[in-house]
C-alpha cells in the first residue's frame, strides 16, 4: 500500500522551462489537491479535484495547470517556470464523503527555479 | 486571504511540559478542524481532528479544545517529548462546495528541549 507517491523528489529548473510534477494515489480517494509550502506562509492550495474529469482553482493557481483523467493520477504542470515558483510542493488525497476527511500527503517535491 | 490564523510561529518547551498552539478562524461555515504534524523532509500527517459540536477531543497526550462562540481552537500536547519536535498546522474545512478543501494556518515550529 503505497499511499500518495510524488515524483520527482528534487528538481532544478531554469526560468521559462516547463515541467510536470507527478502524483499518484492507490487508496481510491475521490479528492486530490496540490499545495505549495513556503516559509511563514503555511500550505497554500494551488488546484484541487473532486473526481476524475473535474478540477478547480485554489488560492494560488496562476502559472500552474492540472488535469484528472483517472482517479489515481493528478499531475501538476508548470507552464513557464519563474523564480517565485521555488517552493516545496505537496500532493494530498482524501475521501470526499462520509466522516473520514483526513488527508494523506505525499512526501513532497522540492523545486528550485534559477 | 488568511482565514485561519495560527500562533505562535515558534515555541520552545521543556521536556515534560505542556505545549499549546492556538488557531482562530473567521468563516463560520467551517465544519471540521484537523491538526497536522510535519517532520523535516516529510509531508504533513493527520494528528487529531474535531467537529464543532464537540468542545474537546483527546487522543493520548494530544487534546484539541474548541470554542465555537470565540471561533478558536487549540492543540495541547501534554508531557511534551523531544520526539514531538515538529511543525504543527491547524486547518479548517468548509461545509459546502469545494469537496474536501482545507484552509491551513501558517504553522508552528515546536522544539522540545531536554
- Check pLDDT > 70 for residue A98: no
pLDDT tens digit string along A39-56? 888 899 999 999 999 999
State the pLDDT at residue B107: 95
CB contact under 8 A, A42 and B43: no
CB B30 within 8 A of CB B98: no
Determine the residue among A29, A34, A101 to mutate to test chain B binding: the one whose Cβ has the most chain B Cβ atoms within 10 Å: A101
Question: Nearest Cβ partner of A31 from B36, B100, B103?
Answer: B100
CB A31 within 8 A of CB A94: yes
Rounded distance between C-alpha atoms, residue A6 and residue A105, angstroms: 9
pLDDT tens digit string along B7-24? 999 999 999 999 999 999
* Closest alpha carbon within chain B to A93: B100
Could you tell me which residues of chain B have a Cβ less than 8 Å from any Cβ in chain A? Answer: 6, 9, 32, 34, 36, 41-46, 49, 89, 93, 98-107
pLDDT band at B100 (very low <50, low <70, confident <90, very high): confident
CB contact under 8 A, A101 and B89: no
State the pLDDT at residue A76: 98
Query: Which chain B residues touch A103 with a CB distance below 8 Å?
Result: 34, 36, 44, 46, 100, 102
Average pLDDT, chain B: 92
Q: What is the mean pLDDT of residues A96-105?
A: 75
| Three-state secondary-structure class, residue B110 | strand
pLDDT band at A58 (very low <50, low <70, confident <90, very high): very high
Query: What share of chain B has pLDDT > 90, as a percent?
Result: 79
Strand-by-strand arrangement of the A19-25 sheet: A4-7, A19-25, A76-78, A64-66
Beta bridge partners of B44: none
Residue A65 in grid coordinates: 495547470
Query: What share of chain A has pLDDT > 90, as a percent?
Result: 86
pLDDT tens digit string along B46-63? 999 998 889 999 999 999
Amino acid at each position: 500500500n503505497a499511499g500518495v507517491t510524488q515524483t520527482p523528489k528534487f528538481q532544478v529548473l531554469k526560468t521559462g522551462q516547463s515541467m510536470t510534477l507527478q502524483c499518484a494515489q492507490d487508496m481510491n480517494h475521490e479528492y486530490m489537491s496540490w499545495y505549495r509550502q513556503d516559509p511563514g506562509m503555511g500550505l497554500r492550495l494551488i488546484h484541487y479535484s473532486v473526481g476524475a474529469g473535474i478540477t478547480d482553482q485554489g488560492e494560488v493557481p496562476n502559472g500552474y495547470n492540472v488535469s484528472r483523467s483517472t482517479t489515481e493520477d493528478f499531475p501538476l504542470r508548470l507552464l513557464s517556470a519563474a523564480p517565485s515558483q521555488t517552493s516545496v510542493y505537496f500532493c494530498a488525497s482524501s475521501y470526499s464523503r462520509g466522516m473520514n476527511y483526513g488527508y494523506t500527503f505525499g512526501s513532497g517535491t522540492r523545486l528550485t527555479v534559477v | 486571504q488568511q482565514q485561519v490564523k495560527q500562533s505562535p510561529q515558534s515555541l520552545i518547551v521543556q521536556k515534560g511540559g505542556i505545549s499549546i498552539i492556538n488557531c482562530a478562524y473567521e468563516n463560520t461555515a467551517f465544519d471540521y478542524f484537523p491538526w497536522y504534524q510535519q517532520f523535516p523532509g516529510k509531508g504533513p500527517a493527520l494528528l487529531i481532528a474535531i467537529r464543532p459540536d464537540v468542545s474537546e477531543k483527546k487522543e493520548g497526550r494530544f487534546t484539541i479544545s474548541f470554542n465555537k462562540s470565540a471561533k478558536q481552537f487549540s492543540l495541547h500536547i501534554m508531557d511534551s517529548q523531544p520526539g514531538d519536535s515538529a511543525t504543527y498546522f491547524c486547518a479548517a474545512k468548509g461545509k459546502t462546495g469545494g469537496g474536501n478543501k482545507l484552509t491551513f494556518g501558517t504553522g508552528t515550529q515546536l522544539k522540545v528541549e531536554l
